[in-house]
Chain A
Amino acid sequence: MSKTVMIVDDSASIRQVVSIALKGAGYQVIEACDGQDGLAKVSGQRVHLIISDVNMPKMDGISFVKELKKIPETKFIPVIMLTTESMQAKKQEGQAAGARAWVVKPFQPEQMIAAVSKLIMS
């Protein structure tokens, strides 16, 4: 059975590209546009990995990870955060919240696939 990855980003184009890349690599993809949306969509289904942007409206990536860690069903889901070089402080905050994996924007779709396959076995 193929694994399910959720991409949480407020940029539709990033979601689309990541989604195309992941589907191409054999994953199922769920898209969410911010932390709130992500929380709503992660419940009730098996999500194996979450890719989340940091800077998002409504609920940012850090709060999103904190929330995920509070829920027994979702606390073990690995999270890849999308970040940029200029966000060192955010990165530490994210690590404190429990997100250990990071992909630096701008990234190539292949880098994303590599990051995902480090974390979950397809």
Chain B
Amino acid sequence: MNLDEALQTFIEESSDLLTQMEEALILSEQSEEISEIVNVLFRAAHTIKGSAGLFGFDHIVSFTHVVESLLDRVRTAELELTSDLIALLMYSRDHIADLLEDMTPEPGNVSDELREKGDRLVEQLKCHLGSDESMPTKPNEDTSVAPNRTNCDQRPVRSENWHISLRFAPDILKNGMEPFSFLRYLSTYGDIDHVCTVPDAIPSEEKMDPEISYLGYELSFKSRAERSAIDSTFDFIRDGSQIRLIPPHADISEYIELITILPESNERVAESIRKCGSLTQEECRTALSEIQRVSAADRTQVSRSDIEASPPAPKSNPSERNATTVAKNGENRFIRVDSVKLDRLIDLIGELIIAGASTSMVARKIGVAELRESTSILSRLVEEVRNTALNLRMVQIGTIFNRFQRVVRDVSQELGKDIELIVEGAETELDKTVVERIADPLMHLVRNAIDHGIEPFELRRDRGKPDKGTVRLGAYHESGSIVIEVEDDGGGLDRDVILAKAVEKGLVSEGQSMSDHEVFNLVFEAGFSTAKEVSNLSGRGVGMDVVRRNIVDLRGSVELSSRLGEGTSVKIRLPLTLAIIDGFLVGIGNATYVLPLDMVVECIELAAWNQEVGDDKRYLNLRGEVMPYLRLHEHFGISGKIGKQRNVVVLNYAGEKFGLVVEKLMGEFQTVIKPMGKMLEKVQGISGFTILGGGDVALVLDVPGLMRQIVLEHEREEDTVH
């Protein structure tokens, strides 16, 4: 049986459940109404245990079992969910995660360290559970052991077969049970030598209910199997049924007892048993006469104890029945799809868009109105398909935001700070790849906020702030991007300290006049972060420059604002998706370039009135606004025939405007960004390429990169001037 695929499902499912557990545990610390939360916890532990057992991960089963039992006690209100217990459950959850992690490369091999940790946790869990909790009990307890009669001498019968007597519960059919399938299943353990049907219970025709089972069976069964194995055949129909097994060469007293207990007349029963060969004629007679003797002597004592030997009736337990499960609301039905498949789909849609664009172009060229009309319908549909497909990759950013609850909780406890994390806009959606890749930088920023941002509470008191610090994580959409904010109400950044350090590091020259905004954003410069600052918490070997690099790699931007004594806010701006953009085509000579449409503000002609301003002619006059600009053909050193016409595309990125001088404006174009090959990926100012309708290649311009280059060039020139 190939379980590899199922195993993968198990791992994914379990990690989802662990996340649910974590969220529920954190929630349980904050909320009053915990019954549904406990249910979620229980269900998660329960499912993990169940699935792990299926794959034979016994170590996970045994550990999770203890957790589950404990949660069950909490669920039935036998145990209170104290903060100690929550902490312990949190560690247990982590341990399950570790076990799963450990198992991933090589199943079943638990490291000693993990095992020790697990044992310690189990001990602690059992302290809460009390002593009576043990490992799962064996399900197969022999319930139909016939009591030995002491008033008879040992007289084994001759039959070497088991004798099985069956009187099924009348409602067996109503419960969907098919008596014959049990008889058939018996042959797993041996051969049925003979069956004798006992139809005595069938009532007269008019009283007969076809949904009720009336038949009884006496079987002679040849088998070497254990009693428990044979008996287990009838596990599902035991309730309300009379099932008796008599082993080979049993004492005749067992048969005597059987004959007495069965509802039919003693003679009829003895006859059936004889017919199926379990008793000989002689043994039958002995049994019957024995019964007569006993009943004559002691009729009233038709052993009550024997009747009680049949399985105990189910004890109803109304108090436990109240432990109802409440269906968790808002739980949607999802299909798990391998992300590779999605990527392939998006890739194909990219190709479809290119092919569609080329078809439209041909249609325009041919100039047949009908063809143009149908291609325009086609492109509209393709666009819809594209949007839908891209949506498939969209996940809620809350999936990573919620991780931070745990981080904030743990880290603030470690630091002895009281910090609350407020999450806003968790439902905001963005591309899964972006979400995954933004997690680490965000983690860094959140840790920074806790570690360096929020002050110790003595200091907070002095400053007149509430003892409890607040870190706010927020996300929202804004003009084709998503904005993520990490805010704290801590001490804020000290302009002078940063500036002094920047000067010391040679990042800026002394006496350079800079706005607060510029100063604060120096912390993102490579080489700003020093080893001295790297604590084991926020440090982790990643500086703020790495945070920025990660974000820029995602075609995003980051900026920081802060007020001393009041707090710090970091704003991250990211594109919604990486793969496909609405582009704006521009041309210079024969070359075509693509700009992200959401960054284009307007296009104007480069005419005399808006020509360069300033001494060094590096700015344009945009209706009275001074705007830096770049001549693309000069920047890229494009030679060859370039027309006279010049247009300015005004771009806006992260609140800053800048102009790009090009020759031709070619309009909107939906396009798929293909990454540059290894050799070219370091080329500045270009973020990828795309294929145009006609099959030509167009480079996708990296607007933030170009902006940075302008700033750098200006600085370099300034340096040479100074």
Contacts and interface: CB of A to CB of B under 8 A. Distances in A.
Interface of A: 10-14, 16-17, 20-21, 24, 33, 37, 49, 53, 55, 57-60, 75-80, 82, 84-86, 88-89, 92-93, 95-96, 98-102, 104-109, 114-115, 117-121
A13 B333 contact: no
Given A75-B176, A100-B175, A119-B177, 4 more contacts: A17-B55, A84-B49, A98-B174, A99-B175
Nearest to A36: B327
Given A89-B320, A100-B237, A106 B333 contact: no
A121 to B, nearest CB: 5
Given A100-B239, A121-B184, A78 B1 contact: no
B178 A120 contact: yes
Given A12-B9, A59-B327, A85-B136, A17 B182 contact: no
A106 B53 contact: yes
B137 A85 contact: yes
A118 B3 contact: no
Given A55-B325, A95-B239, A95-B314, A16 B50 contact: no
Contacts of B327: 57-60
A37 B331 CA distance: 13
A77 to B, nearest CB: 5
B185 A118 contact: yes
Contacts of B609: none
A80 B177 CA distance: 11
A58 B331 contact: yes
Contacts of B239: 95, 100
Interface string B41-67: 011001101111111100001000000
Given A58-B327, A78-B175, A93-B321, A101 B13 contact: no
Interface string B13-31: 1100000000000000000
Contacts of A101: 177, 235-236
Contacts of B68: 84, 86
A92 B237 CA distance: 14
A88 B320 CA distance: 9
Given A13-B13, A95-B314, A20 B3 contact: yes
Contact of B236 (A13, A16, A115): A115
Nearest to B7: A13
In the complex, which of the residues B51, B54, B56 has the most CB atoms of chain A within 10 Å of its own CB atom?
B54
27 contacts: A10-B43, A11-B51, A20-B6, A21-B1, A24-B1, A60-B325, A76-B173, A76-B176, A78-B176, A82-B50, A84-B50, A86-B68, A89-B317, A98-B174, A99-B175, A101-B235, A102-B235, A102-B236, A105-B46, A108-B56, A117-B185, A117-B188, A118-B182, A119-B176, A119-B181, A119-B236, A120-B178
Contacts of B5: 16
A92 B137 contact: no
In the complex, which of the residues A21, A78, A99 has the most CB atoms of chain B within 10 Å of its own CB atom?
A78
Interface in B494-515: none
A12 B3 CA distance: 13
A77 B178 CA distance: 10
